[in-house]
Structure 1
């Protein structure tokens, strides 16, 4: 593993793939958006429990939805949110009733991690393939890109919804590589989870950049500032 990206010589890189949650997206802002959404539900449905209790129930139901999946099968986050809304409200609520408020709160609350937007934008100006490999619904990914002003920045977007699997399933990385038309040894995966992003990508032959991920043999580079990725691939900031 190389701790100092500034000392790395440029390699024959052709593609940089990004995870979304925890890398492009500041997860604290996502948690705050959930709180604000539950507060909005309280304003619309006059919940019978305090917001903090309702928020904990929301998180429990969302977590249960994903924990019930079989291995690496895809499960929709929008379905998880709908399930959580029903649990919090205590009744079945059509998605067209709650989703507009959910999207509005996301647009008001979600924010990128420092350096994420400018690094993606700079890479998009080069000949590198700039892609996404993320365990997310495709529409949710597109919404986040729109919020961050990155709607046109990515050459490919590989989501768990589009593949039907979640990382570290090799199908995720194989689909991303096929979309980019590059060989794995010329690609970098930027992620925040060791088992899913680092080990999954390394097993598929990609090089890895850990941004908050645990250390281990699958980590090739580690950055604390996403702008350091430009140094790794040899692009001037």
Structure 2
């Protein structure tokens, strides 16, 4: 048996042939996101000599960004970067052009954002075993590309479906339908790894995708539950 045919035989024994990944809270460590935001505001406030504490600025920024998303129409996409800009404006008390704050924001991301433990190793292993992998995430196209490249995960992915590209956010049918349309595998042979029950778990289950809860609340739609991304290998039937 050739190496190629052996690999095909091993792949045929997998329980699932495809994995859809969320980004924030799954591939991207959320503590690192919080650290990045705090570092950005600290640098921004110092550069502009704004007389407000980092803690107060961070609280106001988060409130404004949160309101930006809460005010959207149902599952309609709203840009996170646009919300971040609104937060900056609120802190300063006037409009701040993007080119006056975004470089510091991006640099803080480069310094602080990190992958969830074992994310890179798991994606690399699945890629090597021929498992189809795609991102399905509520994120801006620009931020998605930066994060996946920065974390070193982009080379292992076959496709990316963002809310900006679809115009909707999970659990809207359009998000999962767009991802499935591009995938060569059926929903029944696909898992969705997510950290939010309504958006990722129940949303995927409604389309026949087998949900893997990673920090998500419990509920009837959960097919598998993991506490470490390495456990995805066992879910798929990949020998560790």
- Normalising to structure 2: TM-score of the pair? 0.92
- 1:13 corresponds to 2:16: yes
Match of 2:157 among 143, 151, 154: 154
Name 2:125's counterpart in structure 1: 122
Equivalent pair of 2:89/2:95 in contact (CA under 8 Å): yes
Name 1:210's counterpart in structure 2: 213
Deviation string 1:66-103 (CA, Å, 9 cap, x unpaired) is 00001000000010111111111222111112111111
- 1:91 corresponds to 2:94: yes
Deviation string 1:147-173 (CA, Å, 9 cap, x unpaired) is 111122110000100110000001111
Shift in Å, 1:12:
4.2
Match of 1:69 among 59, 69, 72: 72
**Aligned partner of residue 198 in structure 2, secondary structure:** helix
- 1: distance between equivalents of 2:58 and 2:151? 26
- 1:46 corresponds to 2:49: yes
- 1:131 corresponds to 2:131: no
Name 1:25's counterpart in structure 2: 28
- 2: distance between equivalents of 1:79 and 1:236? 43
**Aligned partner of residue 161 in structure 2, secondary structure:** strand
Shift in Å, 1:111:
1.1
Name 2:174's counterpart in structure 1: 171
Shift in Å, 1:31:
0.9
Shift in Å, 1:135:
0.4
- 1: distance between equivalents of 2:183 and 2:17? 9
Name 2:113's counterpart in structure 1: 110
- 1:144 corresponds to 2:153: no
- 1: distance between equivalents of 2:82 and 2:54? 21
Count of aligned positions: 228
- 2: distance between equivalents of 1:195 and 1:55? 27
- 1:189 corresponds to 2:203: no
Unaligned ranges ≥5, structure 1: 1-9
Name 2:85's counterpart in structure 1: 82
Higher-RCO chain (CA-CA 8 Å, sequence separation at least 6): 1
Structure 1 vs Structure 2 CA RMSD: 1.1
Shift in Å, 1:236:
2.5
Shift in Å, 1:126:
2.1
Unaligned ranges ≥5, structure 2: 1-12
- 1:100 corresponds to 2:100: no
Match of 2:63 among 52, 60, 81: 60
